[in-house]
Chains A and B, each alone.
Chain A
Amino acid sequence: MAEVSIRNVSKSYGDNEVLHGVSAEVKDGEFIVIVGPSGCGKSTLLRMVAGLEEITSGKISIGGRVVNNIEPKDRDIAMVFQNYALYPHMSVFNNMAYGLKLKGLPRDEIRRRVEEAAKTLQLEDYLGRKPRQLSGGQRQRVAMGRAIVRNPAVFLFDEPLSNLDAKLRVQMRVEIRKLQHRLGVTSLYVTHDQVEAMTMGDRLIVLHDGHAEQIGAPMELYENPATRFVAGFIGSPAMNFMEAEVSDQKAHIGGEAALPCPPGAPGGKVVIGVRPEHFALAEDGAAGLKIHVDVVEALGPDTLVHGHIAGQSEDIVIKFHGSPRFAVDSIIAVKAPPEKIYFFDPGTGRRL
């Protein structure tokens, strides 16, 4: 059990700085998800907490102890890797027991801990097998088991589910969350999948180009994104962005069409964002935003309409409940409630 504190940490490879001063405080027992597109530095940040990468500047402390110059094995952490990194020549039992053996724990203590972890993870029948005789999900669980038996202060997960198929991923997502909840161990979890991030994290750290764009609870990020990047990254399908000119409490998009804005909306040239699920069909066709329908995807509970607005560079996605029918190449008129419209600075991308 420990809190993790990341203070103004940056990382450079030669002259190339990949993390530019990230700070975050992780509370004891919290499940933090570090999320961002590939190449944003999220794995690097996690590996710095693990001690596998050197810290160029800044400080990382675990349980109040600065760990910058402490070896990974002495940091009281356990890590689950994307490709599991199981020792291929050792049985499941030995894979889990290896760290404990090196610590010099007595035999029966090792046996007790491994068997307990195996029971938790339903691996009891597989203890004698080699990793290559296991399925992907089972390997994943062995990797988890190796982390659990160490009884660490912090769990580190580096995209642990990305090698699994979609169905298993959903199942393991829930299992990891349950396990973490029961063990109450502080966890840092890296993923590029925003669904995983939203569903698993107590709080998220959204990384973009080596900056922490926003840190907060999933719903907070969804409802109050600080930047255009966070707004576009959190939520699926992603938020729609349109260039607009705001005047008289109206956002004019592509000249004629206009969306009513809430009072106090910023004026001038802005980028407005509307989530796909907040659009609705306009009853009086004339007042709405005209969308040219390109593709209709019926998913059952929802229907996604992909379309575009004349003169706008980015396509628009709209999510309707149920299964309304739309013809391809038809024009539909939609509206959005004024309080669900987000305004961003076209230059900096910051929320206005």
Chain B
Amino acid sequence: MIEKRPLANAISHTVLILGVLVVAFPIWVTFVAASHDAVRMTQVPLPLLPGGHFWENLKYAFSKGVGNAREISVGMMLLNSLIMAMMIAVGKIAISLLSAFAIVYFRFPFRMGFFWMIFITLMLPVEVRIIPTYKVVADLGMLDNYWGLSIPLIASATATFMFRQVFLTIPDELLEAARIDGAGPMRFFKDILVPMSRTNIAALFVILFIYGWNQYLWPLLITTDKSMYTIVMGIKNMLEAAEEAPEWHLIMMSALLAMLPPIVVVVGMQKLFIRGLTETEK
């Protein structure tokens, strides 16, 4: 809008500022809570200004556990989450790239049948197939390890479908030029398709990393060994301290730490992310 309307400007700014406050206030409270000690956090009213125990709490979180998850430090849970999220994001991208490549560029019997089979799995998220999937994972001996945490979440119809659409926009002549240049199928995939989908891969990576990071139900189900706890389910466990009151200052510190990696990924890949979602020039 190029028009100058002071009133409209004021209203829209008010709405935006309110929106920011609604989102930012809980984060502020988390930060404030993470910077006080246990005693202050049990008194009312809750503090709204930061206290002086931030570094102390941070150090504690990286060395020891909290509440019901006392056996594993928050640092280790962060590492578990990171490994799981990376395995899921990278695995999903690798598998979807290859399956989209097969579906778009190869003529094999029941090609469309396979495509629709992949597509139908959109209707079957983990929550729906959780018991059979658990059984399979258990039988394969993948309980309580990184494989069990990530593999069942790797197959992705959404990503396959997205890469299929990306590949369909790449002109056939490029494939033909590459064939004349002497590139075999995998060479073409590696040298032409993957670099050309670079921005889409980045955008998808951001989305999938956060998807993996935020997994709650599945890790909760298949990890009984506390050393495999991920941060998102770990926080829940911290609340269930048997005898004592929840250690809010440490829980809030964990929550704060759990927010960081997704933020780093989004901020770091912002440029590629936006280009991946908007760029059409091929």
Contacts and interface: CB of A to CB of B under 8 A. Distances in A.
Given A102-B183, A102-B187, A132-B281, A89 B198 contact: yes
A345 B113 CA distance: 54
Contact of A73 (B174, B181, B282): B181
A204 B196 CA distance: 39
Contact of B176 (A81, A87, A99): A81
B181 A99 contact: yes
B174 A52 contact: no
Contacts, number: 60
Interface in A98-119: 98-99, 102-103
Contacts of A86: 177
B173 interface: yes
Contact of B179 (A52, A88, A150): A52
B192 interface: yes
B182 A79 contact: no
Nearest to B194: A89
A77 interface: yes
Contact of A85 (B174, B195, B196): B174
Interface string A299-311: 0000000000000
B115 to A, nearest CB: 22
Interface residues of A, number: 24
Given A88-B196, A89-B196, A89-B198, A99 B174 contact: no
Contacts of B180: 50-52, 72-73, 77-79, 99
A50 B178 CA distance: 12
Contact of B182 (A81, A99, A132, A146): A99
Contacts of A79: 176-177, 180
A85 B177 contact: yes
B191 A98 contact: yes
B179 A72 contact: yes
Nearest to B170: A88
A98 B182 CA distance: 9
A83 B171 contact: yes
Interface in B167-215: 171, 173-174, 176-183, 187, 191-192, 195-196, 198
- Residues of B contacting A: mostly: helix
Interface residues of B, number: 19
A98 B173 contact: no
Given A89-B196, A102-B187, A83 B182 contact: no
A82 B171 CA distance: 12
A83 B179 CA distance: 16
A41 B210 CA distance: 52
A347 to B, nearest CB: 41
A85 to B, nearest CB: 4
Given A83-B173, A98-B191, A102-B187, A88 B181 contact: no
A79 B178 CA distance: 11
Contacts of A132: 281
A149 to B, nearest CB: 10
B181 A102 contact: yes
A79 B174 CA distance: 12
A278 B195 CA distance: 58
A149 B262 CA distance: 47
Contacts of A146: 177, 181
B282 A88 contact: yes
- Among B191, B195, B196, B282, which residue has the most Cβ atoms of chain A within 10 A? B191
A150 B177 CA distance: 12
A101 to B, nearest CB: 9
Contacts of A87: 174, 177-178, 191-192
Contacts of B196: 88-89
Nearest to B195: A89
Among B174, B178, B182, B281, residue most surrounded by chain A Cβ atoms (within 10 Å): B182
Nearest to A74: B182
Contacts of B177: 79, 81, 85-87, 146
Given A88-B196, A88-B282, A102 B174 contact: no
B173 A73 contact: no
A52 B182 contact: no
Contacts of A85: 171, 173-174, 176-177
A88 B178 CA distance: 12
A99 B281 CA distance: 24
Contacts of B281: 132
Contacts of B198: 89
Given A51-B179, A81-B176, A85-B173, 19 more contacts: A52-B179, A71-B179, A72-B180, A73-B183, A79-B176, A81-B177, A83-B171, A85-B171, A85-B174, A85-B176, A85-B177, A86-B177, A87-B192, A88-B282, A89-B198, A99-B181, A103-B182, A146-B177, A150-B181
The 8 A-B residue pairs with the shortest CB-CB distance, nearest first, are A99-B181, A85-B173, A73-B182, A85-B177, A102-B182, A89-B195, A81-B173, A72-B180
18 contacts: A51-B180, A52-B176, A52-B179, A52-B180, A72-B180, A73-B180, A73-B181, A77-B180, A83-B171, A83-B173, A85-B171, A85-B176, A87-B178, A87-B192, A88-B282, A89-B195, A99-B181, A132-B281
